[in-house]
């Protein structure tokens, strides 16, 4: 496969340094808006599309890129790309696994500590002058020794578990199948939620995990329970979550992902028991550069020999957990 014969298309915005590298190394073009004139012309020669978990490549765009052979995703999640359609068309898909595990796990631990100890809320308490006016901040909850459940014990889930071990937490998990690990396995998300103080969501996104954290799971977690989501907003039944928090049926939440990003329900923004971050779990300079390097390696290798460095497999129906 020659460089001259392969067109590279950028779908959606990427990190500026990655966009610059794609232009310099691969003469990549960005999909214009509106895209019709490009897709009806140069789009016919595009063989590699580079995108992100926010945008992806849907079935319609695949149809309009008849020469497309690879979709290279900037991010571990690729649920915005129609992977089943890609497989049907013989289009390979890659992501950027491993390099973001540590930062996502760090964020999960930070959210657990923040929600349970009330750090962000206490910061606001001091800034408002409430410490002087109203006295000491209310008592919070201890993190060390807490019972923590991990929903999805894949690479990121394992990184979270290793960190929790340092807090002497009692760790349990649910996966699509048990793993050879020193943690207790629960056979359903509801059983896991009923057994823990904190439920951390670390599964992949997509139709197979849509609303996996259902109203029933949230109810099982209970009025003292804490939900932490560093996965995808689609995994959590957001209206059920909001209702449980407003009605006092859930103790608190730390959320890095939402159903309709970047829009976050006003009810969540008004609650001191909820810590909100703008999908920044992997958002460090070091991790973003590492992710970009994996993307560039995938594009370069595919253009050289038609293979990918980090290919992903078509998910099997019902196997959405990490």
- Are 243 and 265 contacting, i.e. CB atoms less than 8 angstroms apart? no
Residue 290 to residues 2, 180, 203, 217, 317: CA-CA distances in angstroms? 26, 29, 22, 35, 31
Q: Before 311, cis peptide (omega within 30)? A: no
Q: Which amino acids are annotated catalytic? A: 232, 261, 279
Q: What are phi and psi of 219, to 5 degrees?
A: -65, -40
Distance CA 62, CA 91 (A): 9
- Are 171 and 156 contacting, i.e. CB atoms less than 8 angstroms apart? no
Q: What distance, in Å, lies between the first and last C-alpha atoms of the chain?
A: 34
H/E stretch holding 250 reads: none
């Amino acid at each position: 496969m020659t460089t001259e014969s392969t067109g590279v298309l950028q779908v959606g915005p990427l990190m500026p340094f990655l966009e610059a590298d794609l232009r310099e190394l691969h003469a990549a073009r960005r999909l214009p808006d509106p895209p019709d004139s490009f897709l009806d012309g140069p789009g016919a020669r595009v063989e590699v599309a580079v995108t992100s978990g926010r945008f992806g490549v849907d079935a319609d765009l695949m149809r309009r890129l008849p020469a497309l052979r690879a979709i290279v995703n900037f991010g571990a999640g690729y649920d915005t790309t129609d992977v089943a359609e890609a497989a049907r068309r013989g289009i390979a898909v890659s992501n950027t696994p491993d390099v973001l595990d540590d930062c996502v796990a760090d964020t999960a631990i930070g959210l657990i500590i923040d929600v349970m100890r009330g750090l962000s809320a206490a910061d606001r308490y001091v800034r408002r002058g409430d410490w002087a006016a109203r006295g000491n901040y209310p008592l919070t909850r201890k993190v060390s020794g807490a019972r923590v459940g991990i929903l999805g014990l894949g690479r990121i889930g394992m990184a979270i578990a290793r960190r929790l071990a340092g807090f002497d937490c009692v760790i349990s998990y649910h996966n699509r199948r048990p793993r050879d690990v020193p943690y207790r396995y629960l056979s359903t998300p509801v059983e896991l939620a009923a057994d823990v103080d904190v439920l951390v969501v670390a599964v992949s996104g997509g139709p197979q995990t849509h609303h996996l954290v259902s109203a029933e799971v949230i109810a099982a977690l209970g009025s003292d329970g804490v939900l932490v989501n560093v996965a995808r907003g689609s995994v959590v039944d957001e209206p059920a979550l909001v209702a449980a928090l407003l009605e006092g049926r859930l103790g608190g939440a730390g959320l890095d992902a939402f159903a309709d990003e970047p829009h976050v329900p006003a009810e969540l923004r008004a609650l001191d028991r909820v810590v909100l971050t703008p999908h920044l779990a992997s958002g460090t300079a070091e991790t973003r550069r590492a992710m970009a390097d994996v993307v560039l390696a995938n594009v370069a290798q595919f253009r050289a020999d038609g293979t990918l460095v980090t290919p992903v497999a078509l998910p099997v129906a019902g196997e959405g957990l990490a």
